């Protein structure tokens, strides 16, 4: 009788790395390793500009409008080791939601960075859970 090898977990298709204004210097080792090892780096021009030359993957800036482009962009790089850069916490009004909707949670590894809300609350001494947050990203300012 031959025993089958144990099933190996399927690695995530995409790693999402939250990056702050402090750029490379503010990233933990795990995030740096993912970015160095990525074959494709997707992010905003500003975020891609924060990466050192040691991140040799193909740099792909997000097109505008972003959300409708997500499925096609991910499909174009299927099979590659993809890292997506996000501002701060990707799951707090960030690209993490769009990626989850397209790929599902099992296909993602998310390495968050503190959000701008966390930084603002820390600076002024407000508890995050007591702070009402409204986003205008991708929305008309009149809704505020």
Full set of structural domains in the chain with CATH:
14-143 (3.40.1010.10)
pLDDT exceeds cutoff 80 at 63: yes
d(CA 56, CA 109): 20
End-to-end CA distance of the chain, in Å? Answer: 67
Measured in degrees and rounded to the nearest 5, phi and psi for residue 67 equal -55, -45
pLDDT interval class at 11 (50, 70, 90):
low
Please tell me the predicted confidence (pLDDT) of residue 143: 78
Please tell me the predicted confidence (pLDDT) of residue 56: 97
pLDDT exceeds cutoff 60 at 8: no
How many helices (H) does the chain have, and how many strands (E)?
5, 5
Please tell me the predicted confidence (pLDDT) of residue 2: 62
Mean local confidence (pLDDT), 47-62: 96
Q: What percent of the chain has pLDDT over 70?
A: 92
Q: What percent of the chain has pLDDT over 90?
A: 70
Please tell me the predicted confidence (pLDDT) of residue 61: 96
Please tell me the predicted confidence (pLDDT) of residue 72: 93
Q: Which residue has the tokens 């099933």?
A: 7
Q: Which residue has the tokens 């193909």?
A: 58
The token pair at 7 is 């099933």
Q: What mean pLDDT, rounded, does the chain reach?
A: 90
Q: pLDDT tens digit string along 71-115?
A: 999 999 999 999 999 999 999 888 999 999 999 999 999 999 998
């Amino acid at each position: 009788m031959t025993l089958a090898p144990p099933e190996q977990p399927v690695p995530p298709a995409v790693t999402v790395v939250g990056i702050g204004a402090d750029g490379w210097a503010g990233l933990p080792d795990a995030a740096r390793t993912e970015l160095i090892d990525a074959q494709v780096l997707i992010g905003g021009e500003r975020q891609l500009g924060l990466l050192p030359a040691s991140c040799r993957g193909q740099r792909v800036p997000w097109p505008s409008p972003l959300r409708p482009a997500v499925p096609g962009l991910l499909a174009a790089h299927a099979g590659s080791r993809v890292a997506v850069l996000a501002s701060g916490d990707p799951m707090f009004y960030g690209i993490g939601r769009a990626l989850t909707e397209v790929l599902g949670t099992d296909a993602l590894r998310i390495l968050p960075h503190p959000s701008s809300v966390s930084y603002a609350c820390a600076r002024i001494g407000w508890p995050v859970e007591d702070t009402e947050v409204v986003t205008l990203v991708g929305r008309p300012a009149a809704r505020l």
